[in-house]
Amino acid sequence: MKSFLAGFFGTIAAIVLLFIVFIIIIVSAIPREKPVTVKSNSVLKLSFNFDIPERSPKNPFEGFDGSGAAKPVGLKEIMESIEKAKSDDNIKGIYLDMSIISPGFATVEEIRNALLDFKKSGKFVVSYGEIYSQKAYYLATAADKIYLNPNGLIEFKGLSAQIMFFKGLLDKLEVEAQIFKHGKFKSAVEPFFLDKMSEANRQQVTTYINSLWDHVLNGIQQTRGIAVADLERMAGNLTIQNAGDCVEHKFADDTLYYDQVVDRLKELVKLDKKKELTFIALNRYVKTPAKKFKTALVKNKIAVIICQGSIESGEGDESTIGSEGTAKAIREARTDSAVKAIVLRVNSPGGSALASDVIWREVVLTRQVKPVVVSMGDVAASGGYYIACAADRIFAQPNT
């Protein structure tokens, strides 16, 4: 018996030891944060080929998948970096590495406005890409100069919406969907019981698509000097077919290869062509020191609560809105005498009606005590709007 117990506890001890060693190996494999310094005459390089969360993940294991890929940079940190670069004497300008970009139009709008503000400092913004998607091009129009690969293309064909319907498949499988909906504009479930768009859904989709497109056209007109009527005509006729068309119709300033763009940047920085131009990537620049405020000493505070992702019951995480976690955060802000107002940053397509109702109730209670203001990002649909509707004020981007 003694030998059995000795062997049993020895095995348990070995397993625990192996687990500790495994954790140590994982932790040691995570790259240590090194102080980042910006060299003189540097150019801040921005590219947005990743989904942009509202703020950078706090989880140190986020993005650690063995691929070496850097964790995504949040919108908050992007905006702070562009603002910081305005007064950074070592940053001479911004280079936009453009192609297909992932964020939604409202996020793009925030970044575009920040770039327009950055230019007021007298520093340059230059964009280059081989192929610009429409969304990437809209962002690029904030630049002083837009360059395109000689064999590249700028997509410019207008906006559209496509919906896939499953009713025919379900009928063949003899599956009947149980639908719960209220109101003729609640269209998310239409693909399961219709074989085409309802007139109500067609009306609302057409309305917001046209609104988005009008805003894009007006933005391009303001920065590129191309009349809205001409833009509409060229999109409708698919006028932009190649790089030459882009330059001819003022969509791009010139067609260049990457090395030629670097030479143009060297001229702007006043650097000898024989010397190497210094770029600093966004995911490194966010780590540079910034002005810090001693928030603990501030008596009057505004709490910012991020509501990002689908709405679910439970605590939630970086990519979901948990009813318990969010409700707790709102309650804590409500009972904190130092917090004078609350901003809910909503970027959500909705989710659980029950979870949304739990959060909505906390907003209702909080509004009776102190102001609650909602700021909307790319989307605030269904439950995303539900949790926002009880606020004192709601602010959205023109393309939310």
Pairing mode, strands 124-132 and 91-98: parallel
Which band of pLDDT confidence, cut at 50, 70 and 90, is reported for residue 67? very low
- Looking at residue 261, its pLDDT comes to 97
Stretch 113-120: mean pLDDT, rounded? 98
Stretch 243-256: mean pLDDT, rounded? 98
- Looking at residue 34, its pLDDT comes to 67
- Looking at residue 59, its pLDDT comes to 62
- Looking at residue 292, its pLDDT comes to 63
- Looking at residue 180, its pLDDT comes to 86
pLDDT (tens digit, 9 = 90+) per residue, 254-269?
999 999 999 999 999 9
Q: Which of 224-238, 285-299, 368-382 has the lowest mean pLDDT?
A: 285-299
Stretch 157-163: mean pLDDT, rounded? 94
Answer whether residue 293 shows pLDDT above 90. no
> Whole-angstrom Cα distance, residue 385 to residue 374?
10
Q: What is the CATH number of domain 42-58+70-156+240-285?
A: 3.90.226.10
Q: Which of 8-17, 116-125, 126-135, 209-218 has the lowest mean pLDDT?
A: 8-17
Q: Which residues are known to be catalytic? A: 186, 382
Answer whether residue 212 shows pLDDT above 90. yes
Q: Specify whether the CB–CB gap between 246 and 240 falls below 8 A.
A: yes
**Count of CB atoms within 10 A of residue 218's CB?**
12
Stretch 362-388: mean pLDDT, rounded? 97
Q: Which of 5-19, 100-114, 280-294 has the lowest mean pLDDT?
A: 5-19
- Looking at residue 202, its pLDDT comes to 96
Q: What is the mean pLDDT of the chain?
A: 90
Q: Specify whether the CB–CB gap between 213 and 134 falls below 8 A.
A: no
**CATH T-level topology, domain 295-395:** 2-enoyl-CoA Hydratase; Chain A, domain 1 (3.90.226)
Answer whether residue 230 shows pLDDT above 90. yes
Stretch 41-70: mean pLDDT, rounded? 74
pLDDT (tens digit, 9 = 90+) per residue, 333-361?
999 999 999 999 999 999 999 999 999 99
Answer whether residue 381 shows pLDDT above 60. yes
Structural domain boundaries of the chain? 42-58+70-156+240-285, 162-229, 295-395
Share of the chain above pLDDT 90, in %: 76
Alpha-carbon distances, residue 113 vs 138, 139, 141, 219, 251 (angstroms): 11, 9, 11, 10, 19
Q: Specify whether the CB–CB gap between 39 and 90 falls below 8 A.
A: yes
Same fold, 42-58+70-156+240-285 and 295-395: yes
